[in-house]
Amino acid sequence: MLGAVADAYIARRKADDRVAYNVNLQVFQSQLSTITRNLDDLGQEIEAFIREKGITEIDQVRSSQLAIAQEGLTGQIAGTQSSLSFAENRYLQIAAKLEGTVSPTEEDRRTAEMDAMVRPHEMAMLNTKTVLYGLREQYLDPDHPMILRGEARLRATEAEYENKIQEIMTDNLQAELKQFGAQIESLRNMLDDLAEKYEQNDALLRTLSADMSHYREMEYQRELLQRQRDDIMVAINEVKLVQMRDDARRVRIAQNAELPREKSFPKIGLVVPLTTLLVVGSVIGLIFLREITDQRVKSAADIEVLPSGRVLGVIPELAEDPCKSAAAELVVRECPNSVLAESYRQVSALIAKAMDRSGHRTLLLVGGLPDAGTTTAATNLAAAAAAAGRKVVIVDGNFRRPRLAEVMGVSGDDPGLGDLLAGEASLDEAIRTTEHGIDVVTAGRPANRAFERLNNGAFDSVMAELRSRYDLVLVDAPPAVVAGDALVLANKLDAAVLIVRANQEQRGLVARVINQLMDANCEQLGVILNRPRGTAGGYFKKNFAAMAGYSSASSAA
C-alpha cells in the first residue's frame, strides 16, 4: 500500500513540476518581450534627443569650460563688490568730514601742511615768533606795550596760518570726494556688467547641464534594461536545463517500503526518563519563577538594594528567639538577655549615635503598612535608651489605632496628645510615668483625637517643650501608606526611622516611603527590618544563641 501511495505521489509531483516549469518559462519570456520593447523605445528616444539638442562628446568639455568661467566671474564679482564697499565707505567718511560731523584726521592735516601755499604763512608765523622772542629779551616787563603788540601780531599770524590749513584741507577733501564718487560709479557699472554676464553663463550652464543629465539618465536606463534582459535570458536557459534533468525533482524515493518487524513507539526506556526530567524541570522552573516575581521584602538584602536603603538592624521573630521570650512589647525590660532585647539595644546604639551627631532629639517611628511593629519598636527603643541613662518619653501620634496606652499599662481615657492639641490639658497632666520608669504621652481621649490638629502650631509647641525636658522623644506614627499623618509628623520632627515588616511589604512600596521621608524636613536615619522568617536560623541562629548564652553567663556571674 505504501508503495502504491509513493508511486501515485511521485507521478503527481512530476505533473505539478511540469506545470510549474511551463508557468515560470512563460513568465520569463513575457518579461523578456517587455524589456526588449522598452529597449527599442528608449533607443529611439535617445536618438531623437541627440538630434534635437545637438548632444556631442564636446559638450562635456564645454560644460567644464563654462564652469571654470563661472568661477572666474564669481571671483571678479566678489573683488568688485569689495572695492565698491571700500570706495563707498571712504566716500561717506569724506562727506562726514566736509559736513563737520567727523573731524579731519592727522593725516589730512599733515597733507595740508605740506602744501606750497602754506609755506609763506608758516614763515610769517616763525618770523613773528622770532621778533617776539627778541622783544621779550629786550623788555623784561611782560606787560610792555611792544611785547603786547608782538603777541597780538603772533596771534593774528597763527590765525591766518590755521585758516589757510583749514582751507587747503577742505579743497583736498572735496577733490577726494569727487575722485571716490567717480570710482563708485565706475565700479557699479562694472558690477552690473559682471552680473549680467554671470546670469547669461549661468543660464547656458544650467541648460547644458540639464541636457547632459537627461542624456546620462537615459543611457543609464538603457544599460539597466540590457542587464535585466541578459539576466532573464540566463534564467530561461537555467529553467530549460533543470526541466531536462532527472535529479531536479524535489521528491524522490530513497528506499522502498518494507514490512516492520517490531513496534517503533512508544519506547519505555526513553519515554520514562524524558517525562521525569520534564516534570522535575517544570517544578523547578515554577519555583524559580515564583521567587523572581515575588517582590516582597524578605531579608535585609532586599532593602539594601534600594536607593538610600540603609538597614539599622534586624529584629527576629519572637518564636525564633532561643531565650523564648513571652512578649515582644517590653522584651528589653522583662527579658534583657534575649536575642530580641540585644537586637533592640544594637539598633538603639546606632540611632543614638546618628542623632547625637546631628543634635537631634525627636524621632519618628513609622511603618509602611499596618502591623509593621512601630509601637513595639518604640517601647523597646525607649527602654534601651532609658537603660543607657537617657531621659525618654514616648508620644502616641497614631490617633486612628492607638496602642501605646494598652502596651504600657496606662489608661487610654486619661489626657494625652489630642487633649494637649485641643487645649484641654497641660503637658504635666498628659505625661504618665509607667512602672517601667518610662514616661508616655498617650493619644488622649477619643473625642479629641483629631489628626488634623497635628499640622498646627500647638503640636510644634508641645514638641518644643518635650525637647527641653527630655533627651529623646519617640513618636509612634500611623502607617505612611494608609494615613497621611506620618508625613505631616515627618515634617515637624528631627529624624525618622522606617519600620518594615518582612514578608508583608513590597520593595516598591518601601522605596516610595523612603523617598517620601527623604523629601520631608526630617533626616531619614534608616530602616529596621522586623520579624523576617528564618533570621534566627543557620548562621544567625548560632550568633544569637552565643549572644544569649554570653548574656546569661554574665548575669549569673
CB 462 within 8 A of CB 428: no
Cβ neighbour number for residue 224 with a 10 Å cutoff: 12
Three-state secondary structure along 526-556?
EEEEECCCCCCCHHHHHHHHHHHHHHHHHHH
Cβ neighbour number for residue 267 with a 10 Å cutoff: 9
CB 531 within 8 A of CB 399: no
Report the candidate in 389, 410, 417 with the shortest Cα–Cα distance to residue 485.
417
Q: Which tens digit of pLDDT belongs to each residue from 367-425?
A: 988 988 999 999 999 999 999 999 999 999 999 899 999 888 888 888 999 999 999 99
Q: How far apart are CA 126 and CA 544, in angstroms?
A: 118
Q: Based on the number of CB atoms within 10 Å of its own CB, is 114 exposed (0-12), middle (13-18) or buried (19 or more)?
A: exposed
Q: How far is CA 324 from CA 171, 528, 537, 538, 557, in A?
A: 120, 21, 14, 17, 21
Q: Which three cell numbers stand for residue 207?
A: 541648460
Q: Based on the number of CB atoms within 10 Å of its own CB, is 6 exposed (0-12), middle (13-18) or buried (19 or more)?
A: middle
| Superfamily name and number for 301-310+361-532 | P-loop containing nucleotide triphosphate hydrolases (3.40.50.300)
Q: How big is the chain by its Cα radius of gyration, in Å?
A: 54
Report DSSP letters for 79-138, one per residue. HHHHHHHHHHHHHHHHHHHHHTSSPPPHHHHHHHHTSGGGHHHHHHHHHHHHHHHHHHHH
pLDDT of residue 395: 95
CB 111 within 8 A of CB 172: yes
CB 517 within 8 A of CB 299: no
pLDDT of residue 552: 56
What is the CA 443 to chain-centroid distance, rounded?
A: 47
Which amino acid makes up residue 504?
Q
pLDDT of residue 64: 66
Query: What DSSP element (H or E) covers 365?
Result: strand 362-367
420: which residues sit within 8 A by CB, 6+ positions away? 426, 427, 430, 441, 444, 458, 462
Q: How far apart are CA 141 and CA 132, in angstroms?
A: 13
Domain ranges of the chain: 58-244, 301-310+361-532
Cβ neighbour number for residue 248 with a 10 Å cutoff: 11
Q: Based on the number of CB atoms within 10 Å of its own CB, is 231 exposed (0-12), middle (13-18) or buried (19 or more)?
A: middle
How long a stretch of residues is the chain?
A: 557
What is the CA 144 to chain-centroid distance, rounded?
A: 91
At residue 212, φ and ψ (nearest 5 deg) are -65, -40
Residue with C-alpha cell 496606652?
A: 405
pLDDT of residue 536: 43
Q: How far apart are CA 533 and CA 294, in angstroms?
A: 15
User: Would you write out the chain's pLDDT as a tens digit for each of its 557 residues?
Assistant: 677 777 787 778 777 777 777 888 888 889 989 999 998 998 888 888 888 876 655 455 556 677 788 788 888 889 999 998 998 898 888 888 888 888 888 888 888 888 888 888 888 888 888 988 888 888 878 888 888 888 898 889 889 888 988 888 888 888 988 998 999 999 899 989 988 888 888 887 788 778 888 888 888 998 999 999 999 898 888 877 776 665 556 666 666 666 666 666 666 767 778 888 888 888 888 877 776 666 788 888 888 888 888 899 898 887 777 776 667 888 888 888 888 888 899 999 999 999 999 999 999 999 988 988 999 999 999 999 999 999 999 999 999 899 999 888 888 888 999 999 999 999 999 999 988 778 999 999 999 998 888 888 899 999 999 999 999 999 999 998 888 888 999 999 999 999 999 888 888 888 899 998 899 899 999 999 988 876 444 444 555 555 556 655 555 44
Tell me the pairing of strands 439-441 and 431-433.
antiparallel
- What's the fold here for domain 58-244? Helix Hairpins (1.10.287)
- Asked, colleague to colleague, whether 58-244 and 301-310+361-532 share their fold, the answer is no
In a 13 Å sphere around the CA of 316, the CA atoms on its Cβ side amount to 24
